[in-house]
């Protein structure tokens, strides 16, 4: 049974973690959360008002009517999963939930971290905040590729990353892969399981760019 609580989502366009929450909301059919879209290029995430909500100045942020906030995309999705359990995007029994957590972490620490590292060390937007290094960017791209091979192995015999259930793990991975394109992180042709999985993901309306 779903619960209605007034909420506000501070988000932005194109960034992978805000997109992760947006895809999750589309899959759930949750439409009653107010959006506040911040322009990162204009520094709207660096205002004193927003820093009170998240001192790290990162997005997304979910704010409840009583002022409580969640500042991590995974925590936001977990909270909303408790309020809106159907359709299930985390797993309904212990093994499925553990598989979802495992696959999500692989996508986070491998694909997303690798893509973010490459992005921060190649894009002019970060030149003033990061001591950019082309070797570090290459390490991020290599990390992305190495973990993508791990995901190809994980997908052997599976429809989705955590088994037969489409979960947050798949959402995390597609956000990382799409974001990685602008950071030079490519999907190798010799990963057939990933290629088939990508076709299935891109057929879902929620995941289309």
The answer to whether the CB of 12 falls within 8 A of the CB of 37 is: yes
Per-residue pLDDT reduced to its tens digit, 131-171: 999 999 999 999 999 999 999 999 999 999 999 999 999 99
pLDDT at residue 209, rounded to an integer: 78
Q: Looking at residue 127, what is its pLDDT?
A: 84
| Average per-residue pLDDT for the chain | 95
Mean pLDDT of 85-114: 96
The boundaries of every CATH 3.40.30.10 domain in the chain are: 7-83
User: Which residues of the chain form CATH 1.20.1050.10?
Assistant: 94-207
Q: Positive or negative CA dihedral for 113, 114, 120, 124?
A: negative
- Residue 126 pLDDT: 85
For Cα atoms 197, 163, 9, give the angle at the middle one, nearest 5 degrees: 75
Whether 4 has a pLDDT exceeding 90, the answer reads no
For the domain bounded by 94-207, which CATH number is listed? 1.20.1050.10
pLDDT at position 25 is: 98
Q: What is the model's pLDDT at position 44?
A: 94
Please report the pLDDT score of residue 129 as a whole number. 84
**pTM value surpassing 0.85:** yes
Assigned token pair, 167: 């979960």
Describe the crossing of helices 94-106 and 134-154 by its angle, rounded to 10 degrees: 150
Instruction: Classify domain 7-83 at the CATH class level.
Output: alpha beta
For the CA atoms of 172, 176, 179, 180, the dihedral, rounded to the nearest 10 degrees, stands at: -170
Closest to 137 in 3D by CA, of 149, 148, 150, 124: 124
The rounded radius of gyration (Å) of the Cα atoms in the chain is 17
Helix or strand run (H / E) with residue 50: helix 48-53
Q: What integer pLDDT is reported at residue 3 of this predicted model?
A: 55
Percent of the chain with pLDDT over 70: 98
| Residue 124 in this model has a pLDDT that exceeds 90 | no
pLDDT at res. 5: 76
């Amino acid at each position: 049974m779903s619960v209605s609580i007034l909420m506000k989502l501070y988000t932005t366009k194109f960034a992978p973690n805000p997109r992760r929450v947006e895809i999750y909301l589309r899959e759930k059919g949750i439409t009653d959360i107010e959006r506040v879209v911040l322009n990162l290029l204009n520094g709207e995430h660096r205002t004193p008002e927003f820093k009170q909500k998240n001192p790290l100045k990162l997005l997304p942020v979910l704010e409840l009517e009583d002022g409580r906030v969640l500042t991590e995309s995974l925590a936001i999705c977990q909270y909303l999963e408790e309020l809106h359990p159907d359709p299930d995007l985390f797993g309904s029994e212990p093994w499925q939930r553990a598989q979802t957590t495992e696959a999500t972490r692989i996508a986070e620490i491998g694909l997303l971290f690798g893509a973010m590292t490459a992005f921060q060390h190649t894009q002019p937007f970060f030149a003033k905040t990061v001591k950019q290094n082309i070797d570090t960017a290459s390490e991020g791209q290599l990390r992305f590729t190495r973990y993508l091979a791990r995901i190809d192995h994980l997908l052997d015999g599976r429809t989705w990353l955590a088994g037969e259930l489409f979960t947050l793990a798949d959402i995390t991975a597609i956000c990382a892969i799409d974001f990685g394109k602008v950071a030079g992180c490519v999907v190798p042709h010799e990963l057939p399981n990933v290629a088939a999985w990508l076709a299935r993901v891109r057929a879902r309306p929620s995941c289309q760019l």
